[in-house]
Amino acid sequence: MTIPGNGGFDTRAIHAGQAFDPTTGAVIPPVHLTSTYVQDGIGGLRNGYEYSRGGNPTRTALESQLAAIEGGAVGLSFASGLAAEDALLRTVLAPGDHVVIGNDVYGGTHRLIRRIHGAWGVRHSTVDTSDLDQVRAAIEPGATKVLWVETPSNPLMKISDIAALAEIGREAGALVVVDNTFASPALQQPIALGAQVVVHSTTKYLGGHSDVVGGALVFAAAGDDDLVERTTFTQFAAGAVSSPFDAFLTTRGIKTLGVRMQRHSENAQAIAERLLGHPAVARVLYPGLPSHPGHALAARQMSGFGGMVSIDLAGGGAAARRFAESTELFQLAESLGGVESLVNYPSEMTHASVKGTPAEVPESIVRLSVGIEDVGDLLADIDQALARL
C-alpha cells in the first residue's frame, strides 16, 4: 500500500512495511516462522532471502517500520537493546578508540562499554551530556569516535540538547548516537535534530506490553561512510538478530505507540504534580514540571514529556526502599515502557552494575514507569505508599 504524502507519525507506525499478503489478501502479513528458503536453482534466491539470520520477511517488515517512525533511511532489528548497541560499537570502534558517554545512561550501556569493549582496548569518558562544556572538554580530537547520548536520561531524567551535541560530534568527527528508548519516536525525533544513529531497547515503549525483548538501530542516511553496510554485515555475521515472532510482537506494539505515549505522558504529568510538594519528597524528576532544569529544552525538542518519573525521597535510601516496596498497582520490577505501571529501585536493580562508577545512582532515588491504567487508581496507589513512609 502507498501512504499519500509521507504520512503522519501514526499512519507510518500502522502502515510502513505492513502491506497485506498478496496471496490471500490477509490484512496482517503472515509471521514467517522459517529458518531457510528454497532456491530456484543454486543461488536463485526469492527477494534475496537465503537464511533467516541474514533476513526474514517479518524482520524486514519491522525494520521498514522502525526506519519510517524515526525518520531514518534504514532500520536494523536485534535480539535485545544491548545486542543492537554492541553491533554498532563493534562496527565503529577499534582498540585505542575513545567514547564519550553520558554519566546517567542505562546501566547496561555503561557496563557494555566499560567491561566488554573496555577489555578490547576501547577507552571512555563519562560526562554529564546536559553540560555541553563537559562534552567538549572530554572529546579527544581524532580518537573520540562515538558520542553516546541518552535523553531523557535514566533514571535522573536529565535533558540533553540533541541538536547542539550533534553539532559538537560532527565537528569532532565522532558518530552521534542517541538512545531514544525513554522518549520513543512518538515524542522525540533525534535524526531530525542531527543525530546519525538512533538506538532503541524495543523491549520498552516500542513493544509496549512487557512481552518481548528486542533492540533496534536506525540510521539517518543510507550511504553514511558505508556505516549501514558494515553494521548490517555485523548483524549478519555476529548474528544477534530478532526472531520472527519477536519481530511480529514488536511491530504489533509499534502500531499503537502514538496513542500510548499520549496517555503515558498525561498520567505521568498528573503523578509528578501530585508528588510535588509532599513532605516526604525532596525532588520530583520529570521534564514536564516547569521546575525541572531541562523543562524548556524538553518542551523544544520533545512533543510530550513521556511516562518516566523519578522521585528523590527526603528520607534517603531507607525511605526509597520502603516506598518501592509499598506500592500495589505499581509492581516492583525492572524494565519500563509497558502498559502496566512499574516501580524500580535503580541503585539495587537496573543500575546495580554501575555502583562505584561515575554513573552511580543515589540511593534515595525511586523510578516509576507510569502505565496507561486509570489515573485515579494510580494516584491512589501513590498516596497510600507515601502515607506509609
Ligand X SMILES: *Cc1c(COP(=O)(O)O)cnc(C)c1O
- Residue 232 binds ligand X (CB under 6 A): no
- Residue 240 binds ligand X (CB under 6 A): no
- Residue 215 binds ligand X (CB under 6 A): yes
- Residue 154 binds ligand X (CB under 6 A): yes
- Residue 190 binds ligand X (CB under 6 A): no
Beta bridge partners of 21: none
- Residue 179 binds ligand X (CB under 6 A): yes
Question: Can you tell me the distance from the alpha carbon of 153 to that of 306, in angstroms, rounded to the nearest whole number?
Answer: 12
Q: Give the angle 81-183-254 at the CA atoms, nearest 5°.
A: 65
Q: How far is CA 102 from the centre of its chain?
A: 14
Name which of 81 and 258 has its Cβ closer to ligand X.
81
- Quote the cell numbers at residue 298: 524538553
Least distance from ligand X to the Cβ atom of residue 66, Å: 14
Name which of 143 and 352 has its Cβ closer to ligand X.
352
Is residue 179 part of the annotated active site? The answer reads yes
Question: Can you tell me the distance from the alpha carbon of 285 to that of 365, in angstroms, rounded to the nearest whole number?
Answer: 10
Shortest-Cβ-distance residue relative to ligand X: 81
Count of residues of this chain found to bind ligand X when the rule CB under 6 A is applied: 16
For the chain, what is the HEC assignment? CCCCCCCCHHHHHHHCCCCCCCCCCCCCCCCCCCCECCCCCCCCCECCECECCCCCHHHHHHHHHHHHHHCCCEEEEECCHHHHHHHHHHHHCCCCCEEEEECCCCHHHHHHHHHHHHHHCCEEEEECCCCHHHHHHHCCCCCEEEEEEECCCCCCCCCCCHHHHHHHHHHHCCEEEEECCCCCCCCCCCCCCCCCEEEEECCCCCCCCCCCCCEEEEECCCCHHHHHHHHHHHHHHHCCECCHHHHHHHHHHHCCHHHHHHHHHHHHHHHHHHHCCCCCEEEEECCCCCCCCCHHHHHHHCCCCCCEEEEEECCHHHHHHHHHCCCCCCEECCCCCCCCCEEECCCCCCCHHHCCCCCCCCCCEEEEECCCCCHHHHHHHHHHHHHCC
- Residue 80 binds ligand X (CB under 6 A): yes
- Residue 160 binds ligand X (CB under 6 A): no
Least distance from ligand X to the Cβ atom of residue 238, Å: 15
- Quote the cell numbers at residue 124: 571512555
Least distance from ligand X to the Cβ atom of residue 11, Å: 27
- Residue 129 binds ligand X (CB under 6 A): no
Least distance from ligand X to the Cβ atom of residue 335, Å: 7
- Residue 82 binds ligand X (CB under 6 A): yes
Window of 11-19, 77-85, 140-148, 282-290 that interacts with ligand X by CB under 6 A: 77-85
Is residue 224 part of the annotated active site? The answer reads no
- Residue 346 binds ligand X (CB under 6 A): no
- Residue 204 binds ligand X (CB under 6 A): yes
- In sign, the C-alpha dihedral spanning 121, 125, 126, 130 is negative
Is residue 374 part of the annotated active site? The answer reads no
- Residue 353 binds ligand X (CB under 6 A): no
Window of 47-55, 115-123, 178-186, 363-371 that interacts with ligand X by CB under 6 A: 178-186
Of 72, 75, 81, 307, the residue at the interface with ligand X (CB under 6 A) is: 81
Which member of 10, 53, 252, 322 is catalytic? 53
Which member of 106, 205, 286, 345 is catalytic? 106
Q: Report whether 74 contacts 62 (CB < 8 A).
A: no
Window of 11-19, 43-51, 175-183, 237-245 that interacts with ligand X by CB under 6 A: 175-183
Least distance from ligand X to the Cβ atom of residue 105, Å: 7
Binding map of ligand X across residues 89-128, x = CB under 6 A, - = no contact = -----------------x-xx-------------------
Window of 26-34, 50-58, 179-187, 318-326 that interacts with ligand X by CB under 6 A: 179-187
The binding site for ligand X (CB under 6 A) comprises 80-82, 106, 108-109, 150, 154, 179, 181-182, 201, 203-204, 213, 215
Which active-site residues does the annotation give?
A: 53, 106, 179, 204
